[in-house]
Amino acid sequence: MPGLHLRFMTIAGGTALLLAACSSGNGDGRNAAAATDAADAAAEPALPERYDAKAFFTTTTYSLAGGHVWSPDDGRLLVSSDATGIFNAYALDAGDGTATPLTTSTTDSTFAVSWFPDDARVLFAADKGGNELDHLYVREEDGTTQDLTPGEKVKAGFMGWSKDGKSFYVETNERDPAAFDLYRYATDGYERTLVFRNDDALAIAAVSPDGNTVAMVKSRTSADSDLYILDTRTAGAGPKLITPHEGNISYGVHEFTPDSGKLVYSTDQHGEFQQAWTYDLGTGKSEPLVSAEWDVAFVTYSDSGRYRVSGTNADARTAVAILDTQTGKEIELGGLPPGDLAQVRFSRDESRLALMVSSDTSPRDVYTVDLAAGDSKRLTKALNPAIDEANLVASEVVRYPSFDDLDIPAIQYRPKGASATHKVPALVWVHGGPGGQSRTGYSATIQHLVNHGYAVLAANNRGSSGYGKTFFHMDDRKHGEVDLQDIVHAKQYLASLNWVDPDRIGIIGGSYGGYMVGAALAFEPEAFDVGIDIFGVMNWVRTLESIPPWWASFKEALYDEMGDPATDAERHRRISPLFHAENIKVPLLVVQGANDPRVLQAESDEIVAAVRANGVPVEYVLFDDEGHGFTKRENRIAASEAYVKFLGTHMGTAEQPPQPAD
Ligand SMILES: CSCC[C@H](NC=O)C(=O)N[C@@H](Cc1ccccc1)C(=O)O
């Protein structure tokens, strides 16, 4: 679920300081985790310093650009950052980390896309208030900007540079809202040429560096897809199928090799997990490239092809490997702190790397690594300096049994000080999708909740990605049924922990996860004590009838998985919380962005009205300038404050259970 993983800063104030002063100071949560019940009984809980939402979200979110990250002289890095509270593009000095703003939006989140190959112009992207109608803009060297893809209802995206740097590729749905055509733009003057008119609404995935080949994906179902390639040199040529097969096989595209000779693609043809294979454009032969006991999540090359970077999704954590293709050996990166690597990008001369390092307790920071010297340099400090990392909590990957004894993976966060004599209230966290995955790594929202004494169990119910195709498809057309039972069993697992108060367990989730919140409260009304629904689907008939037009390329697959509202409306009504809202009897908080094109505001408006009619406490937070996920700091703070305040009121805190009403 984009945008829900936030960050922050500032000390919570009197209450937090008092709690910290009362703690014994004789250990942190890890010590407490190892303690026996007897020891717990003897010890005062070691409570962390508490920070408010503003503190957590004053932390800066950094992301490296997706195109050229390094400036032509390798002196600066192009990044997106929300240092001002709104995302903008910045040039980060690769020597000392000084950040120079390149865009200065105070309203719409604006993201860095790419440096130009040979000068200081940059491409950047922005939508309007979260409506997902992204446009591509150029920032000239004098600071003026130009929308390269104008049009009120247009959605456009950058598709890469040509190898010679004389052009770049852009997809746009300006001709047909449901289909993205591909254009080549001249680097000088931005004159554009149609490369491919996409009459069949295929998903354009990659353009080869020499511009001769375009790779496209056609999804039939979430289990079955095909790859097509287009030879752009042959006038009138159409997309050619390169994955003829029988049965269900899922294919996806990573990228073309730097010499444009092969397409690197992903497939689950050879087992449970996605492997990376190459398709030779000359011979039509396929060969294995990278495989693991987990999904291969990405494969990418340095510009010359000397280095190959790949990442696997290893039990909800990304494991990155960098291969020197000349020596065939993996590179060990020196001088980096412990943590997960992401967004590894080689400098133009390939002597240095830019990358992000993060952990459960530390948001992503930008580092550079000098390959010859073997040392690294930290360029950013994302975590608010007012927050001491020691007060945050590392996650643990656990597994619990569901109704049929299937092991369900989950990411568990145990608040510091939680023990058998200091039981804490808890939340089951449900991710978006269907088919998403809760992963380890820093989440300001979760850390804020845990810092305030709420245990969080982020359950990866059946149907989640990352655990093989069998697990992934176990919820197909059984949504709101088997996946919901996994979530109810997450609650039972939490209730079995001797440091959790079994009588105070709530549920929280966004989008599809918000749907699970509504479904749990409506269909399993005894299971949870409160619910927080963050832009959740409440009426599947309406949601599936009104999906954004630009989802056409996977509408068939979505309808195959969820059901077609034209023929499955009865089941959709049966599993939609809105039509069963009379069952909802516990306090509910609903949070929604008014511009959300996927889960319309009506979904939240109507569930709020329906549950209020039951005489149940319902709180509603509506952001008029957000879409599917909250990107503005002010709103992220307001949302997280609302979660903690609502939980404090209706479920109490670890120290103070809610008082019975007079
Ligand atoms: C089969 S995936 C549907 C699209 C997409 N999935 C991944 O994020 C998505 O936006 N899902 C929403 C929920 C939703 C599902 C179907 C139709 C509208 C919204 C989410 O973020 O969970």
Give the separation between CA 398 and CA 538, rounded to whole angstroms: 30
- Choice from 551, 599, 601 to test ligand 1 binding pocket (greatest atom count within 8 A of CB): 599
Question: Could you read off the pLDDT of 626-659 as tens digits, one per residue?
Answer: 999 999 999 999 999 999 999 999 999 888 888 6
Question: Could you read off the pLDDT of 398-456 as tens digits, one per residue?
Answer: 999 999 999 999 999 999 999 999 999 999 999 999 999 999 999 999 999 999 999 99
Phi, psi of 130 (to 5 degrees): 85, 15
What pLDDT does 43 receive? 59
Ligand 1 atom with the smallest distance to the CA of 514 is 22
Please tell me if the CB atom of residue 558 comes closer than 6 angstroms to any atom of ligand 1: yes
DSSP assignment of 581-648 equals GGG--S-EEEEEETT-SSS-HHHHHHHHHHHHTTT--EEEEEETT-BSB--SHHHHHHHHHHHHHHHH
204-331: CATH homologous superfamily?
TolB, C-terminal domain (2.120.10.30)
Query: Would you state the structure tokens that stand for residue 569, as one six-digit string?
Result: 């409306």
Closest CA to 651 of 443, 486, 452: 452
What pLDDT does 654 receive? 83
Residue 100, SS3 per DSSP:
strand
- Choice from 220, 437, 461, 512 to test ligand 1 binding pocket (greatest atom count within 8 A of CB): 512
What pLDDT does 312 receive? 97
Please tell me if the CB atom of residue 542 comes closer than 6 angstroms to any atom of ligand 1: no
Taking 50 as the threshold, does the pLDDT of residue 6 lie above it?
Answer: no
What pLDDT does 661 receive? 56
Taking 90 as the threshold, does the pLDDT of residue 162 lie above it?
Answer: yes
Ligand 1 atom with the smallest distance to the CA of 1 is 21
Taking 70 as the threshold, does the pLDDT of residue 24 lie above it?
Answer: no
Question: Could you read off the pLDDT of 176-186 as tens digits, one per residue?
Answer: 999 999 999 99
Give the separation between CA 587 and CA 533, rounded to whole angstroms: 11
Each residue of 209-241: b (16+ CB within 10 Å) or e?
bbbbbbbbbbbebbbbbbbbbbebeeeeeebee
Cα(132) to centroid of ligand 1, in Å? 14
Query: Would you state the structure tokens that stand for residue 289, as one six-digit string?
Result: 């490239």
CA-closest residue to ligand 1 atom 5: 433
Taking 60 as the threshold, does the pLDDT of residue 17 lie above it?
Answer: no
Cα(344) to centroid of ligand 1, in Å? 28
Closest CA to 471 of 481, 457, 456, 460: 460
Lowest mean pLDDT among 326-340, 435-449, 513-527: 326-340
Please tell me if the CB atom of residue 598 comes closer than 6 angstroms to any atom of ligand 1: yes
CB neighbours of residue 317 within 10 Å? 17
Mean pLDDT calculated for residue range 277-306:
98
Query: Would you state the structure tokens that stand for residue 118, as one six-digit string?
Result: 């040979």
Please name the CATH architecture into which domain 14-57+387-539+576-650 falls.
3-Layer(aba) Sandwich (3.40)
Give the separation between CA 645 and CA 430, rounded to whole angstroms: 20
CB 185 within 8 A of CB 148: yes
Give the separation between CA 215 and CA 227, rounded to whole angstroms: 7
Query: Would you state the structure tokens that stand for residue 94, as one six-digit string?
Result: 């690769």
ipTM exceeding 0.90?
Answer: yes
Ligand 1 atom with the smallest distance to the CA of 561 is 1
Which amino acid belongs to residue 409? Answer: P
Phi, psi of 325 (to 5 degrees): -70, -15
Question: Could you read off the pLDDT of 363-404 as tens digits, one per residue?
Answer: 999 999 999 998 999 999 999 999 999 999 999 999 999 999
Long-range CB contact pairs, 320-323, < 8 A, 24+: 320/344, 322/353
Query: Would you state the structure tokens that stand for residue 100, as one six-digit string?
Result: 């120079």
Cα(432) to centroid of ligand 1, in Å? 7
Please tell me if the CB atom of residue 540 comes closer than 6 angstroms to any atom of ligand 1: no
Please tell me if the CB atom of residue 599 comes closer than 6 angstroms to any atom of ligand 1: yes
Residue 33 banded pLDDT, cuts 50, 70, 90: very low
Please tell me if the CB atom of residue 431 comes closer than 6 angstroms to any atom of ligand 1: no
CA-closest residue to ligand 1 atom 7: 433
Query: With pLDDT > 70 as the criterion, what percentage of the chain qualifies?
Result: 93
Ligand 1 atom with the smallest distance to the CA of 433 is 22
Give the separation between CA 209 and CA 323, rounded to whole angstroms: 21
Query: Would you state the structure tokens that stand for residue 228, as one six-digit string?
Result: 């097509």
Taking 80 as the threshold, does the pLDDT of residue 35 lie above it?
Answer: no
Ligand 1 atom with the smallest distance to the CA of 432 is 22
Q: Where, residue-wise, is CATH 2.120.10.30 in the chain? A: 204-331
Mean pLDDT calculated for residue range 123-143:
98
Question: Could you read off the pLDDT of 45-95 as tens digits, one per residue?
Answer: 789 999 999 999 999 999 999 999 999 999 999 999 999 999 999 999 999
Ligand 1 atom with the smallest distance to the CA of 554 is 1
Q: What is the DSSP letter of 615?
A: T
Cα(497) to centroid of ligand 1, in Å? 32
What pLDDT does 269 receive? 98
Give the separation between CA 226 and CA 250, rounded to whole angstroms: 7
What pLDDT does 347 receive? 98
CB 70 within 8 A of CB 94: yes
Phi, psi of 335 (to 5 degrees): 75, 10
What pLDDT does 657 receive? 82
Please tell me if the CB atom of residue 611 comes closer than 6 angstroms to any atom of ligand 1: no
What pLDDT does 45 receive? 75
Please tell me if the CB atom of residue 555 comes closer than 6 angstroms to any atom of ligand 1: no
Mean pLDDT calculated for residue range 458-483:
97
Please tell me if the CB atom of residue 512 comes closer than 6 angstroms to any atom of ligand 1: yes
Computed on alpha carbons and rounded to an integer, the radius of gyration of the chain in Å comes to 25
Mean pLDDT calculated for residue range 511-526:
98
Could you tell me which residues come within 8 angstroms of residue 405 by beta carbon, excluding any fewer than 6 positions away? none
Please tell me if the CB atom of residue 629 comes closer than 6 angstroms to any atom of ligand 1: no
What pLDDT does 334 receive? 79
What pLDDT does 26 receive? 27
Q: Where, residue-wise, is CATH 3.40.50.1820 in the chain? A: 14-57+387-539+576-650
Closest CA to 134 of 159, 117, 116: 159
What pLDDT does 655 receive? 84
Taking 80 as the threshold, does the pLDDT of residue 15 lie above it?
Answer: no
Average pLDDT value over all residues in the chain: 92
Taking 50 as the threshold, does the pLDDT of residue 582 lie above it?
Answer: yes
Taking 70 as the threshold, does the pLDDT of residue 16 lie above it?
Answer: no
What pLDDT does 208 receive? 98
CB 102 within 8 A of CB 122: yes
pTM value?
A: 0.92
Taking 80 as the threshold, does the pLDDT of residue 595 lie above it?
Answer: yes
